[in-house]
């Protein structure tokens, strides 16, 4: 008896249409000068906030005065949890603020590439109440340049983050902070 795999593949071979060529991927002209202003505008539309590194400590102190647990991989913001010592992701349940590195940003949609190298523990950028991403790789115009500049399989997990967590599942009313972070700050260095 054929396995499910053999059965499915045999049926695909019997039923698939004649070969259609894979199209070439074109390049689109983007206005590179506009990348940072465009990114700032688009991420603003998704309730993310771009700021300078020198404003980050003030931003955190003003907006989250009650924050107790801070996870940080950025020297400018000292954290109070040793991420290297975390054995179980459940230990991160009480993180109030995570300040992590992002590789680079995408202007057209406000997305920021973060792999598990930057996240340290995969769940950290999701489980934290508030997230700040510090980007040292600049801004590319569109997703075409974005995917050209990364190897998605370089690490076991990678994610484009384009704002704080959100939902509109109740009457299409936008609510920020569905499951993940309630805010997103972005710093370019």
Partner 1 sequence: MQNHASRAATFLKDDARTDWHNNTLWHVRSKRDKLVHGIPEWESIRQLGSDIKDNVLSNLDTYLEQFVAKAEANGVIVHWAVDAKEHNEIVHGILARHKVDKIVKSKSMLTEECHLNEHLEKHGIEVVDTDLGERIIQLKKEPPSHIVMPAIHLKKEEIGELFHEHLGTEKGASDPQYLTEAARGHLREKFLSAKAAITGVNFAVAETGGVVVCTNEGNADMGVHLAPVQIHCMGIEKVIPRAEHLAVFTRLLGRSATGQPITIYTSHHHRPKVGGEMHIVLVDNGRTKQLGREDFRNSLKCIRCGACMNTCPIYRRSGGHSYDHTIPGPIGSILSPGKDLKKNKDLPFASTLCGSCSDVCPVKIDIHEQLYKWRQIVSEEGHLENVKSIPLAGAGAVLSRGGLYNFMGKAARTALKIAPRALIYNQFNAWGQSRELPEVPKNSFKEWYAKNRKDA
CB closer to partner 1, 41 vs 76: 41
CB closer to partner 1, 74 vs 123: 123
Residue 51, token pair as written in the block: 């700021």
Dihedral angle over CA of 140, 30, 151, 77, nearest 10:
10
How many angstroms separate the CA atoms of 100 and 140, rounded?
A: 20
| Least Cβ distance, residue 31 to partner 1 (angstroms) | 11
Burial 88-123 (b: 16+ CB within 10 A, else e): eeeebeebebbbbbbbbbbbbbbbbbbbbebbbbbb
| Least Cβ distance, residue 30 to partner 1 (angstroms) | 10
CB closer to partner 1, 3 vs 75: 3
| Least Cβ distance, residue 110 to partner 1 (angstroms) | 7
CB closer to partner 1, 12 vs 85: 12
How many angstroms separate the CA atoms of 144 and 28, rounded?
A: 9
| Least Cβ distance, residue 75 to partner 1 (angstroms) | 25
């Amino acid at each position: 008896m054929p396995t499910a795999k053999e059965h499915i593949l045999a049926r695909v071979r019997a039923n698939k249409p004649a070969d259609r060529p894979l199209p070439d991927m074109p390049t689109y002209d983007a206005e590179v000068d506009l990348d940072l202003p465009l990114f700032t505008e688009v991420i603003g539309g998704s309730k993310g906030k771009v700021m300078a590194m020198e404003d980050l400590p003030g931003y955190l102190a003003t907006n989250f005065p009650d924050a107790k647990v801070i996870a940080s991989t950025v020297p400018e913001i000292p954290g109070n949890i040793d991420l290297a010592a975390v054995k179980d992701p459940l230990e991160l349940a009480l993180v109030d603020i995570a300040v992590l590195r992002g590789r680079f940003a995408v202007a057209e949609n406000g997305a920021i590439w973060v792999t598990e190298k930057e996240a340290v523990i995969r769940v950290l950028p999701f489980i934290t109440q508030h997230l700040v991403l510090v980007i040292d790789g600049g801004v590319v115009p569109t997703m075409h340049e974005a995917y050209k500049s990364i190897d998605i399989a370089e690490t076991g997990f990678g994610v484009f983050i384009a704002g704080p967590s959100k939902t509109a599942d109740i009457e299409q009313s936008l609510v920020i902070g569905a499951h993940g972070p309630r805010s997103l700050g972005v710093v370019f260095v």
